[in-house]
Structure 1
Amino acid sequence: MTQPHRLTRALRNATTVETSGIEPIPDSARSGGPGSSFTLWFSSNVQFSSLSSGMLATAAFGLGWDQALLAIALGSAIGAAAIGAMSTFGPRSGVGLLVQTRGPLGRVGAAFPAVLVFFKACAWFAVNSVLGAFAVQTLLGTGFGPAFAIVTVSQIAIALVGYGFIHLVQKTMAIVLPLLFIVVSVYALTKSDLGSAFDPDKAGALGFGGAFALTVAVQAARALSFSSYAADYTRYMPADTPQHRLFTYAFTGTWLGSVWIAGLGAAIGTIAFIGTPTDLVGQVLPGVFATITMLALGISTITSSCLDCYSGALAWLIAGVKMRRWQAVLVVGALGGALGWLAGQGDYWKSFENFLILLGNWIAPWLAVMLVDRYIRHGTGQATPGFGPGFASWLLGLAAAVPFMSQPGLFIGPIASAYPPLGAGAAAVAFLTAGLIHYLLTHRTDTRALPTTSTETRLTKETSA
């Protein structure tokens, strides 16, 4: 087959509406390689939420730019490692990660994180819809309503077509977005105060150690939020896809995109604090640079949020709701769009900040249970009825982190209150506790991995039940 014919066939396959839901993908439908994980996660991290999270390090926490960049690199590496590890779960069984959660947590227990992922996806869909609408509004000079409609409909449309189209869009954006952001980066970096020093007044009770740790935690948490989706975008890959290559591509794409854009945000934070994309125009970027930035931010929020819409829909199905995948996509789009519309009419960040922090706390202990179950216990993914031991491990890990949690305006644990720098360690405590407890609860069980074909057959029966 000639190269043009291959490209035509690939384009046709990518733009064909996906009919699969949460059932295992058969070998005959598997294709693609680990390289697509690089472009997907790189593009998904080149967005305004990465920029704003980096900005917090200097504008809010008081770090100097070089200090912030080191903390961003460390936090991004933690989150990227989670996405890389979770990406390897897809090809082996051909199902998403939440389906495989039924192994350690049980069929009923797995419904709880599935519901949380659904609401998390709706919240992030809302966040990115508002951010994208602000950018499009500034770019086109329209009202908030038309701009919001353009962004939300675009995100839903990409998710409706499905897996192949999402990868195609992300591959394209992996070329387009760097070209746009390079221009902005050169200008912003030359105008920023890259020699800024630590500001103890901004850090307050956190001090330098607390500000550094909190920056690491913020960057890690942003990528950890994506990790619950990771296997959704590798489950169509052949079962023999090399795991080390898949991990490397997913890790590298996530880390590079996150460090670049968050580092740029930290640089901008040395001269101004930017709450929305619109603020960039008035405070940092003039003329043509503002236009290029709004275009880049508008596109990037759409390409990122389509993942929330797609994976949120799969989570809704795994939670036990009986409907088709495309119907679940519309549910996520409708709920997320409604939340975004309400938030866009008022104080955007105040509406969502605490809600997103609350949703993020559960991911670390859940991740620990999944990693221990697969890489230490060699779990097969076979679902257990009711609640599995992983459910208790997950809840106990979360409970152990409560004293360390620091959510101003909602809840500050006793340890975080007495020692503010330790408030950044809640996720680490939850991860280590859940992982250790799950190992202790299950280490006497002989769970040697079964052949891939047996796993796929079993999962087929379980997901169709």
Structure 2
Amino acid sequence: MSLEAHTIYPIPHSERHGRTRDLFTVWFGCNLMMLTVATGALGTTVFGLPLLWAIGASTLGMVVGGVFMALHAAQGPRLGVPQMVQTRGQFGSWGAAPIVMMMVLMYVGFAASNCVLGGQSLQLAVPAISRDQGILLIVASTILPALLGYNAIHAAARLTTWFGGAAILYCLWRATALLPLSAWTAGQVTMTGLLGSVSTGALWQIAYAPYVSDASRYLRADQSGVRASFWASYGGSVLGSLLPTILGAELGLMAGHGDLAHTLGWVSGPFSLPVVVVMSFSIAIANAVNVYCGTLSTITVVQTFVSRWRAGLAARVVVTLGLTGLAAYLSLAMADNFLHSYTAFLELLMAVMVPWTAINLIDYYVVCHGSYDVDAFFARGGGIYGRWNVSALLSYAVGIACQIPFLSTPLYVGPIARRLAGADISWAVGLLVTTPVYLLAVRVLDRSRGAPTLASPISRASCTP
């Protein structure tokens, strides 16, 4: 299997290949890991919900959030470019750069979190290996698929789907059987806990929005492929997240404030070693996706300011190694206080992700109907999209600002969140406010793109030359 030669530029139609069902396996397989299990554990530990309530709230959040994620996936076959390159069509070439930089931090943050849990799991399975050595082993196993690129990641994800799926189902069966009867009624139903679990589930799915076009951009651009991309990505991500989330909720009750990896090893019984090996492989593939997408986004940022530069394989290799090294450093630094750091990371990510996804989806599906001048994404000065799009940037700022009173984080609790007993619904507010604000801004400030209405949608010509 050779190294992928393409980076951020459009995939020629003559080189489009692959099957839409591969999108199911890549998102199903990448979710079968300890980080998803840890996310599920938040419902019964941090949020203190009874088991069935925690599972129900997380499921609701994932079902809703998965829609936004899959709508982004359907953009890949149509445009043939990475998701964050397409963001230039809404924000302008320079306006998109800070947002893309934040997404790079997200990719590296998730990769570091994966390494921590992978290192803990390997230490449990093989006591001779220290936690830090386990982290470095996960980092090392991330490098090869990330360097090989698109085809290697898809191939590895297909293997992970079968072996990781079997491991998760086995652990889920064991955990349910070993769960004491008292655990089924433990916890308390609170509005804070319910909203927290729903929000975490929704954010888990929405957080994949910057990834998904990267994994679908090689597919053919016909209408059936676009529709199938939506359902394959949606089904794979939601189902692949739900199974380990349920397992995490059960393990959280068993572990209390203890170590999840240790509890998983106990639940796995005689098969703890193969379970840990399989889930560590899943972590490596998920990390490869994080590093791969982070590399494309980093190249996107650099190309923004050096428009004549055409990044090739050498640039992708250098950036891949650099981001992998950064993830390794962060994972070693944050390992001692992982769960607290991870929760704070999710809450911070929520505030900056939601307005972007609202603007991107509304612009693609309502304003431009998927019709963009892809060559202009790479043009000096931003082409027809310019360097700055005031409509998008203003709407993005409003979307972030409107969430602040509703935020409930370890560092800050907004006044409205206090009245809601600490419940955080900022993500829902961000979606509901940003969408109409952007549509109004397009109507008033960006007349060249038209004034979209349900009765009279704008023509595609207003989004392309």
Could you tell me whether the CA contact under 8 Å between 1:277 and 1:294 is conserved in 2?
no
Residue number among 140, 147, 150 corresponding to 1:160 in the alignment = 147
Q: How does 1:432-443 map to 2 (within 5 A)?
A: 432-443=432-443
Q: Partner of 1:175 in structure 2?
A: 162
Q: Partner of 1:211 in structure 2?
A: 193
Q: Partner of 2:121 in structure 1?
A: 135
Q: Partner of 1:312 in structure 2?
A: 294
| Corresponding position: 1:221 with 2:203 | yes
Q: Partner of 2:86 in structure 1?
A: 100
Q: Partner of 1:77 in structure 2?
A: 63
Q: Partner of 1:11 in structure 2?
A: none
Residue number among 117, 123, 138 corresponding to 2:109 in the alignment = 123
- Unaligned stretches of 5+ in structure 1? 1-14, 201-206, 459-465
Cα deviations across residues 78-102 of structure 1 (Å, max 9, x unaligned)? 2221221110111111101111111
Moved more, 270-279 or 322-331: 270-279
Cα distance, 1:424 vs structure 2:
2.2
For residue 76 of structure 2, what is the amino acid of its counterpart? Answer: G
For residue 284 of structure 2, what is the amino acid of its counterpart? Answer: I
Q: Partner of 1:339 in structure 2?
A: 330
RMSD over aligned CA atoms reads: 2.2
Q: Partner of 1:5 in structure 2?
A: none
For residue 199 of structure 1, what is the amino acid of its counterpart? Answer: G
Cα distance, 1:267 vs structure 2:
2.0
Cα distance, 1:244 vs structure 2:
2.1
Could you tell me whether the CA contact under 8 Å between 1:184 and 1:289 is conserved in 2?
no
Q: Partner of 1:290 in structure 2?
A: 272
For residue 334 of structure 1, what is the amino acid of its counterpart? Answer: G
Q: Distance in 2 between matches of 1:350 and 1:57?
A: 14
Cα distance, 1:170 vs structure 2:
0.4
Q: Partner of 2:244 in structure 1?
A: 261
| Corresponding position: 1:375 with 2:365 | yes
Q: Partner of 1:406 in structure 2?
A: 408
Q: Report the count of equivalent residues.
A: 430
What is the TM-score when the length of structure 2 is the normalising length?
Answer: 0.87
3-state SS of the aligned residue for 2:45?
helix
Residue number among 360, 364, 379 corresponding to 2:350 in the alignment = 360
- The 1:165–1:373 alpha-carbon spacing in structure 2 relative to 1, beyond 3 Å, is same
Could you tell me whether the CA contact under 8 Å between 1:90 and 1:236 is conserved in 2?
yes
Q: Distance in 1 between matches of 2:141 and 2:227?
A: 34
Q: Partner of 1:416 in structure 2?
A: 417
Q: Partner of 1:41 in structure 2?
A: 27
What is the TM-score when the length of structure 1 is the normalising length?
Answer: 0.87
Cα distance, 1:355 vs structure 2:
3.5
Q: Distance in 1 between matches of 2:49 and 2:55?
A: 9
Cα distance, 1:139 vs structure 2:
2.1
Q: Partner of 1:429 in structure 2?
A: 429
Q: Partner of 1:197 in structure 2?
A: 185
3-state SS of the aligned residue for 1:440?
helix
Q: Partner of 2:285 in structure 1?
A: 303
Moved more, 213-222 or 411-420: 411-420
Q: Distance in 2 between matches of 1:240 and 1:336?
A: 37
Could you tell me whether the CA contact under 8 Å between 2:171 and 2:247 is conserved in 1?
no
Could you tell me whether the CA contact under 8 Å between 1:105 and 1:391 is conserved in 2?
yes
- The 1:430–1:275 alpha-carbon spacing in structure 2 relative to 1, beyond 3 Å, is farther
- The 1:160–1:275 alpha-carbon spacing in structure 2 relative to 1, beyond 3 Å, is farther
Cα distance, 1:448 vs structure 2:
2.5
| Corresponding position: 1:270 with 2:258 | no
Could you tell me whether the CA contact under 8 Å between 2:38 and 2:260 is conserved in 1?
no
Cα distance, 1:64 vs structure 2:
1.9
Name the % identity. Answer: 26
3-state SS of the aligned residue for 2:93?
coil
Q: Partner of 1:385 in structure 2?
A: 386
Could you tell me whether the CA contact under 8 Å between 1:123 and 1:356 is conserved in 2?
no
Residue number among 206, 230, 234 corresponding to 1:247 in the alignment = 230
Cα distance, 1:434 vs structure 2:
1.1
Could you tell me whether the CA contact under 8 Å between 2:405 and 2:416 is conserved in 1?
yes
Could you tell me whether the CA contact under 8 Å between 2:26 and 2:158 is conserved in 1?
yes
Cα deviations across residues 112-166 of structure 1 (Å, max 9, x unaligned)? 1110011111111111111111112222331234322221011122111101110
Could you tell me whether the CA contact under 8 Å between 1:52 and 1:274 is conserved in 2?
no
3-state SS of the aligned residue for 2:222?
coil
Could you tell me whether the CA contact under 8 Å between 1:159 and 1:310 is conserved in 2?
yes
Could you tell me whether the CA contact under 8 Å between 2:175 and 2:251 is conserved in 1?
yes
Cα distance, 1:277 vs structure 2:
4.5
For residue 196 of structure 1, what is the amino acid of its counterpart? Answer: W
Could you tell me whether the CA contact under 8 Å between 1:79 and 1:221 is conserved in 2?
yes
Q: Distance in 2 between matches of 1:175 and 1:227?
A: 24
Cα distance, 1:352 vs structure 2:
4.3
- The 1:211–1:171 alpha-carbon spacing in structure 2 relative to 1, beyond 3 Å, is same
For residue 288 of structure 1, what is the amino acid of its counterpart? Answer: P
Q: Distance in 1 between matches of 2:272 and 2:433?
A: 46
3-state SS of the aligned residue for 1:60?
coil
Cα distance, 1:193 vs structure 2:
4.4
Q: Distance in 2 between matches of 1:187 and 1:396?
A: 47
Q: Distance in 1 between matches of 2:404 and 2:414?
A: 6
**Segments ≥4 residues shifted beyond 4 Å:** 274-277
| Corresponding position: 1:16 with 2:18 | no
Cα distance, 1:349 vs structure 2:
2.9
For residue 392 of structure 1, what is the amino acid of its counterpart? Answer: L
